[in-house]
Structure 1
Amino acid sequence: MGGTTDEWAQRLLGKPEAMLDEEERRVISGIEMGRPLARDAADVADERAEFGDRLADRVAAIGGSWGFIIAFSAVLVGWMLLNSDVLQHFGLAFDPYPYIFLNLMLSTLAAIQAPVIMMSQNRQSAKDRLAAGLDYETNLRAELDILRLHHKLDTMVLERLDALDAKLDALANPASRSP
């Protein structure tokens, strides 16, 4: 079943090559070249990721973990104890109650961390869209391969039936046989 890309597109998808979208072009090209199509979405996304994307993912992974929450809580309690009891006893508390400097640092951290986490979520959404696109390509390829197999089997069955029909005709009309 050879032919040009346009013939493949017309035969398998019922539309000319010019009307194919990018996924359909990749599927037809893969069928035409006889190569596998399936790709891992995580690998493709990692290939496309820039340094900032990987950093955002790492910050979101760390900032959204129990380890970070426990460690950060310990730092906050330590800060408050240090400035309320220990250093204040010696008159050296650099951020006494109501901990204005601590509030400034927490606000700054939240102002930086929130957009970074949103960048990571946007990247995850892009990964999900990529995975859906790759799934579509794989499903389309499988569907087209099944259609091609059906066509091949139908052709083989029809050829076989024609051969049987010819044999039956030959048995029914022995006079038409040549000596």
Structure 2
Amino acid sequence: MALSSPTETARRALGKPLADLDEEERQVLIDIESGSISTRDVADAADETATLGEKLADRVAAVGGSWGFIIGFSVILLGWMLLNSDVLGYFGLAFDPYPYIFLNLMLSTLAAIQAPVIMMSQNRQASKDRLAASLDYPTNLRAEIDILRLHHKLDVTVIERLDSLEAKIDGLAKTLARS
């Protein structure tokens, strides 16, 4: 026996009348009864509201936090130091000789720009995590309600089968008693 309406489902599964449910719970019950899917992809939901700056911050953090960036940047730094100390220094053309003051200025500027951008990306990731939690709640609620409905159906089926078996046993007992 299926639960027939959101009102009945609210009473049986959640132990509250439909009017006492919050909007998320009410929407889950309506989705269950209509047979519609209520899950959403967190990445898609977050990307729908992302600004250009937030998307750029994510890209910068993805590139700046990769091994490819670390290795490539290390090669560039090593090349800069070799070029300005040995190669160009031999001809007296080194534009940033040791102690590499211009290189230090560029590295400090890069760090000053990159750090807040990475923090913006981390803030966006925290927002995605909060969104994921809020999107998980209806999915988990729906799963629990569906499990409770299945338990109810199984209980009804088992009781009907037991009643049928009990009636057959009673019938057999009466037939044996007459013989």
Counterpart in 2 of 1:66? Answer: 67
Q: Distance in 2 between matches of 1:108 and 1:39?
A: 40
What SS is found at the alignment partner of 1:38?
coil
Q: How far, CA to CA, are the matches of 1:101 and 1:25 in structure 2? A: 62
In structure 1, what is the equivalent of residue 114 of structure 2?
A: 113
TM value normalised by structure 1: 0.73
SS at 1:30 equivalent: helix
Q: How big is each residue's C-alpha offset from its partner over 1:64-112, in whole Å with a ceiling of 9 and x where there is no partner?
A: 1111111111111111222223333333332222111111111111111
Aligned to 2:103, the other structure's residue is in SS state helix
The aligned amino acid for 2:37 is P
| CA 1:98–1:25: 2 relative to 1, 3 Å | farther
Q: Confirm or deny: 8 A CA contact 1:23 1:133 kept in the other structure.
A: no
Aligned counterpart, 2:87 = 86
Q: Distance in 2 between matches of 1:18 and 1:121?
A: 39
Greater displacement, 10-19 / 123-132: 10-19
Per the TM alignment, residue 36 of structure 1 is displaced from its structure 2 partner at its CA by 2.0
Equivalent residues of 1:56, 1:120 under 8 A apart: yes
Report the CA distance shift for 1:153/1:67 in structure 2 as closer, same or farther (over 3 A).
closer
What SS does the aligned partner of 1:94 have? coil
Q: CA deviation at 1:142?
A: 1.4
Once residues 48 and 115 of structure 2 are traced to their aligned partners in structure 1, the CA distance between those partners, rounded to angstroms, is 25
Q: 1:16 to 1:119 in 2, by over 3 A?
A: farther
Identity %: 73
Check conservation: 1:8, 1:32, Cα contact below 8 A.
no
Q: Which string of whole-angstrom CA distances, capped at 9 and with x for unpartnered residues, describes residues 120-145 of structure 1?
A: 22222222333333333222111111
The 2-side partners of 1:79 and 1:164 are apart by 88
User: What residue in structure 1 maps to residue 130 of structure 2?
Assistant: 129
Residue identity matched to 1:135: D
Deviation at 1:157, TM superposition (A): 5.8
Using the alignment, how far apart are the partners of 1:37 and 1:82 within structure 2? 60
Matched residue type, 1:85 = D
Which has the larger displacement, 40-49 or 50-59?
A: 40-49
State the TM-score, normalized to the length of structure 2.
0.73
Q: Is residue 102 of structure 1 aligned with residue 103 of structure 2?
A: yes
Q: Which runs of 5+ in 1 are unaligned?
A: 173-179
State the one-letter code of the partner of 2:32: I
2:46 alignment partner, SS class: helix
Unaligned 5+ runs, structure 2: 175-179
Deviation at 1:17, TM superposition (A): 4.6
Residue correspondence of structure 1 range 17-32 to structure 2 within 5 A: 17=18, 19-32=20-33
Sort the Cα spacing of 1:81 and 1:166 in 2 relative to 1 into closer, same or farther, 3 A.
closer
Count the aligned residue pairs. 170
- Cα RMSD (Å): 3.1
